[in-house]
Amino acid sequence: MLGFLLRIARSVVNNVISIITSQINIIQDAITSPLKAIVQQVTGGVWKGDGANRFVQEMTSEVIPQLVNIGGMGMGFGGAIRKALDLMDSADKQAASKANELFDVFGKIFS
């Protein structure tokens, strides 16, 4: 019975993780796309000089990668949840195996 409940929980959690990952990707794109467009405008010549060069450098080497990294942390959280579910499955299988061993021992004693 517990194994059945764990399978249902795994299915629900995987579904939620998939939805969260999709939303993180949408948010990440919604944030980084306009910034990338601004950088392209600046490199295209709408702003020139040392300030423009420094702006492009900061955006491409610091700001945008850090925003992408924030999304990666959210996806790492999903991986940690999956790992926890795997550990629960493993513990459930070990417990079931030990219980079956005990049933076999008791069965031999009382038969």
**pLDDT on residue 34:** 95
Residue 7 domain-assigned (yes or no): no
Domain that holds residue 30: 14-104
Residue 91 domain-assigned (yes or no): yes
Task: Enter the tokens of residue 33.
Answer: 């796309």
**pLDDT on residue 33:** 95
Residue 3 domain-assigned (yes or no): no
Residue numbers of the chain with a pLDDT score lower than 50: none
Return the DSSP state at 48: -
* Rounded Cα distance, 53 and 34, in Å: 18
How many structural domains compose the chain? Answer: 1
* Rounded Cα distance, 102 and 94, in Å: 12
**pLDDT on residue 52:** 96
Residue 6 domain-assigned (yes or no): no
What is the CB neighbour count within 10 angstroms for residue 94? 10
Residue 111 domain-assigned (yes or no): no
Residue 72 domain-assigned (yes or no): yes
Query: 53 and 61 in contact (C-beta within 8 Å)?
Result: no
Q: What is the pLDDT of residues 12-22, one digit of tens each?
A: 888 988 888 88
Q: Write out the H or E segment, with its range, that includes residue 65.
A: helix 64-110
CA distances from 59 to 55, 65, 88, 94 (A): 6, 8, 43, 51
Q: What is the pTM of this model?
A: 0.62
Residue 8 domain-assigned (yes or no): no
